[in-house]
Structure 1
Amino acid sequence: MLLPVIVALNVSNVLVYSATAGYRHDSIPTAISELTRRGPDYGINFINTEDMTLFNDRYLSQFDAVFFLSNTDEVLNSSGKAAFQKYLDRGGNVVGVHAATNCMLRRSCFYSSGSQFQGHPAFTNATMVVLDMIHPSTAGLPPRWNVTDEIYNFVTDPRDLGAVVVLSADESSYRDPSRGQSAQGDPHPIAWYQERHTGTNSTGLVGRSWYTGLGHAAAAWKDDVFMSHILGGLAYVLASNTTRAMNPDATVGSLGPKYTPV
């Protein structure tokens, strides 16, 4: 399958992968539409696919980041996982949103950007607490940010893998009967980053990762504050200096206007 790409110099290519093999979020089409609409203002060329066969070395090599959008269960086959592993080993960056921590759980440890989804209470109003007012993904947020979302619990503390948590949930602001079963640490992690993605085998160029547990409802993707959170996270990973958009010596990333469809 050919995917049309029109790229200008200094524009980053981001592959949005939205395939699901389990529960499918109704917000996915809205998320793709809003990312595509807003991308040019941020110098980002978003390409969306749900075709796992495009996870091959040649196709992935043109992207500065891969954006996992609310994926569930096993959404890549063995060859796709191998190609994605190679992409990470060559300096590729990765972003995960919402249910992205609930895919490829058992056989793809390299995918994890810090932890895995455990569960969540009912869709609820809750208050998020910004822990880092400077990071691009949180700089545009109020210090205490009221959201209506699914507030995820995680199996382990992402800080155990070197992640830096930039956004946490105020656990007193909502009710969650199952919260005590989680080993996610305190404060309750919601969004975090890794300067060097732990899923790579490389000792050279290592890309960045960023994840947020928010983004369940379509309405969030229409909200400017929420989108500043998402696009700020993307801006952070794209500034890694490990892909061609920023580093002429890199081996993956945007090739500018000379893109050839695969």
Structure 2
Amino acid sequence: MLKNARVAIGLLLLFSFTTSSLATTAKVLIYSATADFRHDSIPTAIQALQSQGSSFGIQFENTEDKSQFTDQNLAQYDALLFLDNTGEVLDDGGKTAFQNYLNLGGNFVGIHAASDCLRNTTFYGHEVGAFFDYHPALQNATVDVIDASHPSTSMLPAQWHVQDEMYNFKSDPRAIGATVILSANESSYVDTGTRQDQGTPHPTAWFQERGAGVDGNGTPGRSFYTSLGHLNETWQDDLFLAHVFGGITWALQANTTLAFNSSAQVGNPSSASASNSTSSPSSTSAAPSSSS
């Protein structure tokens, strides 16, 4: 009962904060293409995100078509969400469009196996924060909250008991400027593999205020990544969904896309239209902004 109350309060606070911040609906593209291992929880995850998106002022669209990665198409989204991608899921043209999108202020969210794709693409590795190395067997484990102030962790217990894959990474995301907010408690599960230098404490989820995948002259948006989310059951858990939506809504509040900034170069075009119409100098009275 205490857990349910904590989740309800966390979702209420997150919903209130989000609806008061978003001027209009933000558009997020879920990209779930895979070239190697494929998670059977992908459809469950997409359904969970889309069914709750309107509550947070978010319109989710999804695709596995790499040809959708063009400058013109990506420009309409306030964030790109990579979901459980594995292997080489973009061609060179798609990677260029992705890089251009990030340079123009686009935001990025990566979930679970999103750290296991485009493994030789440097800007992507920087934007997600670190590439996946390996994981021990699926088992019960404890995840420690090391920063409870972030919107993706504020509703979580200090020691979060989960059944999931405890990812290990090829590098330390802190090395490219990420802030780690969740850490796998290595004493709570069995891992007999050889870990690379991924830093201490063990990174499990993190954020970047300024996405490191952006070129030097670009406008960095935000980046959020969580390595959790393997099982179908995980995507049916309210506490996990609160964690994910906390990360997504935080990324959207970068003020670099049209959901918040009418002068931005990418984002939902209708957001810019709505923002301009409510702030028109010809208006004789202040009109309230529409909220989703």
Please state which band the TM-score falls in when normalised by the shorter chain: over 0.9
**Contact 2:102–2:219 under 8 Å retained in 1:** no
User: How far is the alpha carbon of 1:257 from its aligned partner?
Assistant: 7.3
Q: Give the structure-1-normalised TM-score.
A: 0.93
Provide TM-score, normalisation by structure 2: 0.83
Distance between the aligned counterparts of 2:29 and 2:54, measured in 1? 14
Contact preservation (8 Å) 2:30, 2:63: yes
Check 1:194–1:143 CA distance in 2 against 1; reply closer, same or farther (3 A cut). same
Structure 1 segments of 4+ aligned residues over 6 angstroms from their partners: none
Of 48, 62, 74, 2:88 maps to 74
2:52 is the alignment partner of 1:38? yes
Identity between Structure 1 and Structure 2 (%): 52
Aligned positions of 1:6-85 closer than 5 A:
10-85=24-99
- 2:220 aligned residue (183, 206, 209): 206
Q: How many residues align?
A: 250
Deviation of 1:140 after TM superposition, in Å, equals: 1.2
Amino acid in structure 1 at the alignment position of 2:205: A
Relative to structure 1, the CA distance from residue 136 to residue 258 in structure 2 (aligned partners, 3 Å threshold; closer, same or farther) is closer
1:114 to 107, 123, 129: 129
Aligned Cα RMSD in Å?
A: 1.5
- 1:82 Cα deviation after fit: 0.3
Separation of aligned partners in 2, 1:91 and 1:258: 15
**Which blocks of at least 5 consecutive residues in structure 2 are unaligned?**
1-21, 274-292
Report the structure number with the largest CA radius of gyration: 2
Between Structure 1 and Structure 2, the one with more helix by share is 2
* Aligned pairs for 1:145-184 within 5 A: 145-178=160-193, 180-184=194-198
Mapped contact 2:136–2:165 kept (Cα < 8 A):
yes
State whether residues 259 and 272 of structure 2, in contact with CA within 8 Å, keep that contact through their aligned partners in structure 1: no
The 2-side partners of 1:181 and 1:134 are apart by: 29
By how many angstroms is 1:20 displaced? 0.3
**Candidates 106, 129, 148, aligned match of 1:133:** 148
Given that 1:15 and 1:46 are in contact with CA atoms closer than 8 Å, whether structure 2 keeps it comes out as: yes
Partner of 1:185: 199
Task: Work out the CA distance in 2 between the residues paired with 1:244 and 1:140.
Answer: 28
Q: Secondary structure at the match of 1:165?
A: strand
Letter in 2 for 1:198: A
Among 235, 241, 252, the alignment partner of 2:266 is 252
CA distance in 2, matches of 1:64, 1:181: 35
Q: Is the 8 A contact 1:9 1:256 kept in 2?
A: no
Q: Tell me how far apart the structure 2 counterparts of residues 183 and 170 of structure 1 sit (CA, whole Å).
A: 16
C-alpha separation in 1, matches of 2:155 and 2:208: 20
**Paired residue type of 1:157:** D
| Structure 1 runs not aligned, ≥5 long | 1-7
In structure 2, distance between residues paired with 1:165 and 1:209: 12
SS at match of 2:233: helix
Preserved CA contact (<8 Å) 1:90 1:202: no
Change (3 A) 1:245 1:65: same
Classify the secondary structure of the residue corresponding to 2:183: strand
